Amino acid sequence: MIGRFLAAKGQSQSEPEKLFLCENLQFLTNSARIFRISNKNSFQSDHYSLILKRTVLYLHKLFLNMVLEKMNLKPQDFLNARKRLLQMHFESGVGHIGGNLSSIDAMLIVFHEFFKGMDKFVLSKGHSAGALYITLWSIGRLKDDDLKSFHSDNTLLAGHPPAKGIEDIPFATGSLGHGLSLAAGTALGFRLKNNDAHVYCLTSDGEWQEGSTWEALIFACHHKLDNLTVLVDHNNFQGFGSTDQIASMSPLWEKLKGFDVELHVVNGHDPDDIRDVLASKQRRFRIIILSTVKGRGVSFMENRMDSHYLPLTAERYRQAMEEIDSK
Amino acid sequence: MRKQLCDALVARSVNSDMVFLTGDLGFMALEPLQSAMGHRFINAGISEQNMVSVAAALSRQDFDVWIYSIAPFVYARPFEQIRNDITFHNLPVKLIGNGGGYGYGVMGPTHHAIDDYGVMLALSNMTVYVPVFDEDIDAVVTRAGASAHPAYIRLGRGEHPKSFSVPGYAPWRQLTHGGGDVVIAMGPLAGTYIEDFEKLPEKIRPNLWAVAELPIEHAPIPAELIAQIENSSILCVAEEHVRHGGLGSELLLNLAGRGVVVRCFQHLYARAHHYERYGSQKFLRRQSGLDIHSMLESLGVAIS
């Protein structure tokens, strides 16, 4: 667990911190081992050994919490990202806000806390491009000037992820049902190259009505792509109504249970829930269903169909920013 | 052509970056390739949309990716995946469609591919190869494989007379020579006219050309052919493809751009996806007016 944690966090953790953590853990673990070996015939010594072992575990946890506390995104980071997203959409007069607000928490956590080296992220629900752009901006991969150009003439930032020009976006998406196959192919490619990079793919829930998504699911399961994690933004809405009313598969996780897949259902707006599941040891192709709220964080957008399409008026924008500031 | 294709790909598979995906087809044809490639030969199952997107993603990682299926299942079923995932990113994935045109004959319209290369040519960066003879396959695999762009390869079967000496591969090749009009045919269909053209007196024997690559911008028309067209009273184009988007329209656009005057244009093309009666490829060609009798009639040559 420690190894995985260090591997996952390695990029953003400073070298002195890593060294400090490793040295202390090594020291305590060795102490416990030596104590136990030298006293193995003594019941009393075993008892002390157990106490020491528990102490070591406690200290492990303490160190982890300390470092996690330092590295994890803070609540304010999520609020700031939401505000920047709303600002960008307001300034450009662009809608599609609801699905951005439902998925941005998971995107932020993936990119800030888990993404490393050669990892790839495929945004299958391309209509949440705004959240992806804000996330890339938050890690310094896009600039303010880029965001200002969103949706305008001569921009790199199209309404859906573009085919060229942004290194962190491997594929143009926007037509639903492509992303999971692209992610599966990328994961297979990493395996063929003996590359231990990981692939993340974010789909919508309505997108599971696309047959090609199920083709990709079958493929990913059959090829046992344990280097692939799919996040499903399960906000219960699609283009012209709720997923339940239009083509219900509710609950989606029940349908997925029959596949050879590591399945999790978590609160898609609880950072710790998302972190815990992403940090857990992955043994198979993994699907994490994020139970989310369309328009999350802005009361008049939450669970509303129109938040899928309509841009913000000046009054609504002011109201939304005030709401977020008050949290 | 499948045997030749398999041999050519087996030779190419020494390249460890090559990956081959099939949509669950190739029984009694591609087993040697499967043996040669091991885990890089992937039967993607009956899921062509997924196969194409997976191929695009592999190509994104610089693998040398080839996809195979019956023609309509490789270009029509996953069209959006080809458009969005391959051509939007100009990824050099090679799509191989077996049984182009009416190749699957009596199997019915779902298995016919008579609008394939027109559709593929509508996509940016796409090159189409329609090998004319079995002997072309090595060259086609080499040329397509060397390209940094996507390609669609329509496989048929070589149909030249046994006595005919196949010329070396070129995108445009003249197969018969004479004092008659110019006939340009796409792919293997060209081979079906050779024998009867050769029987005609030299004075009226058509100058038959076979085309194996499109678009014309990638495979320019030889100057010799342009000169023949300028001196010909009829230009006849024959293709096992619907009228729209095929060789005929592309050729005329190109000639018009050059200011070449075509006195009379005859176009023989695949007429329909479905008839009331089905039959062999030969039968369906006859139904479409692509057979030798229809050809000679369009040229005004008396049938002996």
Question: Between chains, do A190 and B47 touch, taking CB under 8 Å as contact?
Answer: no
Q: Tell me which residue in B44, B47, B88 faces A172 most closely, judged by beta carbons.
A: B88
Check residue A159 and give its pLDDT.
95
Give the DSSP letter string of A196-226: ---EEEEEESGGGGSHHHHHHHHHHHHTT-T
CB < 8 Å to A168, chain B: none
Residues 6+ apart with CB under 8 A from A321: A83, A86, A87
A75 vs A19 pLDDT, higher one: A75
Q: How confident is the model at residue B277 (pLDDT cuts 50, 70, 90)?
A: confident
Across A6-15, A193-202, A301-310, B42-51, least confident range = A6-15
Is the pTM above the cut of 0.90?
no
How high is the pLDDT of residue B80? 98
Q: Pick the more confident residue, A3 or A267.
A: A267
List, for residues A99-117, the tens digit of each pLDDT value. 999 999 999 999 999 999 9
Fold classification of B172-299 (topology level): Rossmann fold (3.40.50)
Minimum-distance CB partner of A182 among B39, B47, B53: B53
Residue A165 is classified by DSSP as S
Instruction: Look at A189 and B57 and tell me if their CB atoms are within 8 Å.
Output: yes
For the complex shown, is ipTM > 0.90? yes
Check whether A77 has a pLDDT greater than 80.
Answer: yes
Q: Are B228 and B197 in contact (CB under 8 A)?
A: no
Region A21-37: mean pLDDT is 46
For residue A38, pLDDT over 70 is answered with no
Q: Containing H/E element for B19? A: strand B18-22
Q: Which residue carries 């495929």 as its tokens?
A: A122
Going by pLDDT thresholds of 50, 70 and 90, the confidence category of residue B224 is very high
What confidence score (pLDDT) does residue A71 get? 77
What is the pLDDT of chain B when averaged over all its residues?
Answer: 96
For residue A206, is it left (φ>0), alpha (ψ between -120 and 50) or beta? alpha
- B63: closest chain A residue by CA: A189
Identify residues of B whose CB sits under 8 angstroms from chain A CBs. 19, 39-40, 42, 44-45, 47, 49-50, 52-58, 60-61, 63, 80-81, 84-85, 88-89
CB pair distance less than 8 Å for B60 and A181: no
B134-187 pLDDT, tens digit each: 999 999 999 999 999 999 999 999 999 999 999 999 999 999 999 999 999 999
Question: What distance in Å separates residue A227's CA from the closest CA in chain B?
Answer: 15
Helix, coil or strand: residue B114:
coil
Chain B neighbours among A 135-194 (CB < 8 Å)? 163-164, 170-173, 175, 177-178, 181-186, 188-190, 192-193
Kindly determine whether residue A185 and residue B55, on different chains, have CB atoms separated by under 8 Å: yes
Cβ of A177 and B57 within 8 Å? Answer: no
Residue contact A186–B81, C-beta within 8 A: no
Residue A170: CA count within 13 A, CB half-sphere = 27
Mutation target to probe the A interface, by most A beta carbons within 10 A, among B54, B62, B67, B125 is B54
CATH 3.40.50.720 fits B2-155, yes or no: no
Q: How far is B32 from chain A (nearest CA, A)?
A: 21
Predicted confidence (pLDDT) at residue B12 exceeds the cutoff of 90: yes
Q: Where are the domains of chain B?
A: 2-155, 172-299
Share of chain A above pLDDT 90, in %: 72
Q: Give the 3-state secondary structure of A9-50.
A: HCCCCCHHHHHHHHHHHHHHHHHHHHHHHHCCCCHHHHHHHH
Q: Do B53 and A219 touch (CB under 8 A)?
A: no
pLDDT digit string, tens, across residues B17-75: 999 999 999 999 999 999 999 999 999 999 999 999 999 999 999 999 999 999 999 99
Chain B hits for A192, CB-CB cut-off 8 Å, are 19, 39-40, 58, 63
Chain A residue numbers with beta carbons less than 8 Å from the beta carbon of B67 are none
Residue A32: its pLDDT value, please?
A: 45
Structure tokens at A68: 């996690």
Q: Do A219 and B39 touch (CB under 8 A)?
A: no
Give the architecture-level CATH label for domain A75-325: 3-Layer(aba) Sandwich (3.40)
Q: Are B59 and B93 in contact (CB under 8 A)?
A: yes
Dist. CA B174–CA A8, nearest whole Å? 63
A70 pLDDT exceeds 60?
Answer: no
Average pLDDT over residues B199-212: 97
- Res A91 pLDDT > 50: yes
> Does residue A22 have a pLDDT over 60?
no
**Dihedral (CA of A309, A315, A317, A322) sign:** negative
Q: What's residue A69's pLDDT?
A: 53
**Mean pLDDT of all residues belonging to chain A:** 86
Tell if the CB–CB gap between B85 and A182 is shorter than 8 Å. Answer: yes
Longest CA–CA span in chain B (Å) reads: 59
On whether any CB of chain B is under 8 Å from the CB of A211, the answer is yes
CA angle B226, B229, B233 (to 5 degrees): 165
Cβ contact (<8 Å) for B81 and A171? no
Structural tokens at position B44:
């993607």
A226-266 pLDDT tens trace: 999 999 999 998 988 899 889 999 899 999 999 999 999 99
Q: What secondary structure does DSSP assign to A74-130, as a single string?
A: PHHHHHHHHHHHHHHHHHHT---HHHHHHHHHHHHHIIIII--TT-EEEESSGGGHH
pLDDT band at A50 (very low <50, low <70, confident <90, very high): low
B57 vs A contacts (CB less than 8 Å): 170-171, 181-186, 188-189
